[in-house]
Chain A
Amino acid sequence: MPDPMKIRANLVGDSTEVKVLMSHEMDTGLAKDSSGKVIPAWFIQKVTVLHNDQQVLYAQWGTAVSKNPFMSFKFKGGAKGDKVTITWVDNHNETRTDSAVVG
């Protein structure tokens, strides 16, 4: 089971600012371990963000994204108490979903 994300969602003016930290190795498939064997690619491929039940962001990621990724974005609307739900799926089909309340 992957580690939980750390999500912050705050109202800034008329939009909601979301900051999220994800725990993931994000191996590119290009690096080798100490014995010289290639470490296979293992990375987050899809990120979906829901505001309550409505999708506000969908992203396709590749190996250029860093280890333990940090993503920050804003969307219009949102009110205190609304729910922001984030889901990622990696190329091993592992997935993690966490949510936060807009503050």
Chain B
Amino acid sequence: MPRKLRSIPGAAAALALAVITVTLPIVSVPAAAQESVEKAIEQYRQDLQGGNPAELWEARGEEIWNTPRGPKHASFKSCDLGLGPGIVKGAYAQLPRYFPDAGRVLDLESRLVWCMVNQQGLTHAEATKVTFGKGSRKRSDLEALTAYVVAQSDGTKMNVSLADPHVRDMYEIGEKMFFYRAGTHDFACATCHGSDGKRIRLQDLPNLTKKADAQRAYTSWPAYRVSQGEVRTFQWRLHDCLRQQRFPDLIYGSDASIALTTYLAARANGAAYAGPGMKR
């Protein structure tokens, strides 16, 4: 055997070696390696306890919340998230909800936009100019505000009421959307999030048809996304899920996005909200 190897020209030998090294991991990745990666990621999260950079967004969000802005020179202190003007504590755990002044069911982000437009006098285009930020050169006020507001619900039990018929409708539409297969790949949310043990690359995907998974998933968003160095909101999460399904662009604050959010938020009822989280 060694003699034969020597007769192969260098490049071919290298190629043969390369093939071996490439194929090996594929054959031997199974459960054990997968588990150790998960453990390593879990360890990494624990090491970063108290070091979630989302806190930097919270601080910026709080400042924006308290600063008068727009043509009407109004701050968010007059913005009612459902518990009264300017009340932030625990508000996120009860959203989405129906707002009679807006005549719509709104989630947190769309409610923030509503306040910017109707109380601060910004146009809708101005308010949603940067929905998803990119570095310090293109920062999103909405992401900062969201981080600030959700942090004030940390530890609060999720309690999205479906008593209002408007919210109930949204919940049911959201549920339909979750299981609705469409697009070039004939995907539904449920294709990836409807059974146990699914993953994308190394990311375990929660089975959102199970109460415990649905609770854990919803209560850990919005979150600081380490790989992007940004706080990402639930609107972003849905937008990117639909992008991965090759669906049309989900419009920020659209009824479709709010319906899905309502469904997923209500499914998390009873669990303590624990955000902003931290994701890979």
User: In the bound complex, how far is the Cα of B60 from the Cα of A25, in angstroms?
Assistant: 16
- B residues at A contact (CB < 8 Å): 48, 50-53, 55-56, 59-60, 135-136, 226, 229
Shortest CB–CB separation between residue B161 and chain A, in angstroms?
Answer: 34
Residues of A within 8 Å of B, CB-based: how many? Answer: 13
User: In the bound complex, how far is the Cα of B59 from the Cα of A4, in angstroms?
Assistant: 9
Shortest CB–CB separation between residue B138 and chain A, in angstroms?
Answer: 11
A56 at the interface (CB under 8 A from B): no
Smallest CB gap from A72: residue in B: B51
Smallest CB gap from B224: residue in A: A68
A12 at the interface (CB under 8 A from B): no
Determine whether the beta carbon of B56 is less than 8 Å from that of A23: yes
Would you list the 5 A-B pairs with minimal beta carbon distance, nearest first? Answer: A70-B51, A67-B229, A68-B53, A23-B56, A6-B55
Determine whether the beta carbon of B48 is less than 8 Å from that of A3: no
User: In the bound complex, how far is the Cα of B48 from the Cα of A68, in angstroms?
Assistant: 12
Determine whether the beta carbon of B53 is less than 8 Å from that of A70: yes
User: In the bound complex, how far is the Cα of B229 from the Cα of A23, in angstroms?
Assistant: 10
- Interchain residue pairs with CB less than 8 A apart (15): A4-B59, A6-B55, A6-B59, A19-B51, A21-B51, A23-B136, A25-B136, A66-B226, A66-B229, A68-B53, A68-B229, A70-B48, A70-B51, A70-B53, A72-B50
Shortest CB–CB separation between residue A21 and chain B, in angstroms?
Answer: 6
Determine whether the beta carbon of A21 is less than 8 Å from that of B135: no
B-contact 0/1 string along A1-25, CB 8 Å cutoff: 0011010100000000001010101
Determine whether the beta carbon of A19 is less than 8 Å from that of B56: no
**Which residues on B sit within 8 Å (CB–CB) of A6?**
55-56, 59
